[in-house]
Amino acid sequence: MSPVSRHDRHVEIDLLRSAAILCMVIYHTIYDLWAFYDWRIDPVAGGWWLFARATAILFLLLVGVSFAVYWHRAMSFPAGAQKARWKYLRRGMMIFLCGMLVSIVTYIFDSATYVRFGILHCIGVSIALLPLFTKLREWSAFAGIAMIAGGWVVQARTASTFLLLPLGITPIGFMSVDYFPLLPWFGVVLIGYATGHVVYVRRNFRSVLACKTPLCRWITLPSRYALPIYLLHQPVLLLFLWAMSTVYSRL
């Protein structure tokens, strides 16, 4: 295995992640217009629900793909596996804590439907768990499929405690504005890891895309700041929509 720079980036991954971020902002704009401004549109059913699910799936797949690329590169350096495990454990904990921050903020606004195990919680735990599956390589796809199937099984089960929420088992009457349990969603991350391993490790894929123009760098820039954008985009959106509605009401 030839050494490779830790900082080389795959343009197609950055483009897909930037696209996912754009889709997330679009969906949350629609959701805010429905929730706060009584727009006659239903973002929690039909096409918009599918749009939101497709966006989440893309995010989670890219978590797995990016991990496959990073892990492959880490193996080219001394003690790479050990350092990568600790790095992903720290990163997973940081993202999970950001998810807890979202839980606190949403609880303040609505204690009935606040985020208890949302997509940030799911991504944080998934990132911490991924190093445990590296020996499976592309076979991790089967583990992912099993977890997705497990999600279908447990979704009909209920419990008298919230402690099983990460596994997809909810109390009766549970509601949340953002809920992504490990079963089935960690399965999507594992499929992403398997895909990334096949494409970037087994087949040693090299992108024909180059990001040497200012336009390309601007388009892929959100990919490098996905977490801050996730945390800040809703307050910015709400402030923007409030300002627009205020201006419109005075015209």
Digit-coded pLDDT (tens) for 34-45: 999 999 999 999
> Which residue has tokens 């089960």?
157
pLDDT at 156: 82
Tell me how far apart the alpha carbons of residues 221 and 233 are, in angstroms, rounded to a whole number.
Answer: 15
Domain boundaries, the chain: 11-250
pLDDT at 6: 47
Residue 161 burial (10 A CB sphere; 0-12, 13-18, 19+)? exposed
pLDDT at 249: 85
| Sign of the C-alpha dihedral computed for residues 7, 11, 16 and 20 taken in this order | positive
Q: List the beta bridge partners of residue 170.
A: 158
In order along the chain (251 residues), what is the average pLDDT of each group of 10 residues? 54 96 98 94 94 98 97 85 92 98 96 96 98 96 98 91 95 94 98 97 80 88 96 96 91 77
For the whole model, what pTM was predicted? 0.93
pLDDT at 3: 39
pLDDT at 77: 83
Cis amide bond preceding 184, omega within 30? yes
pLDDT at 203: 87
pLDDT at 165: 96
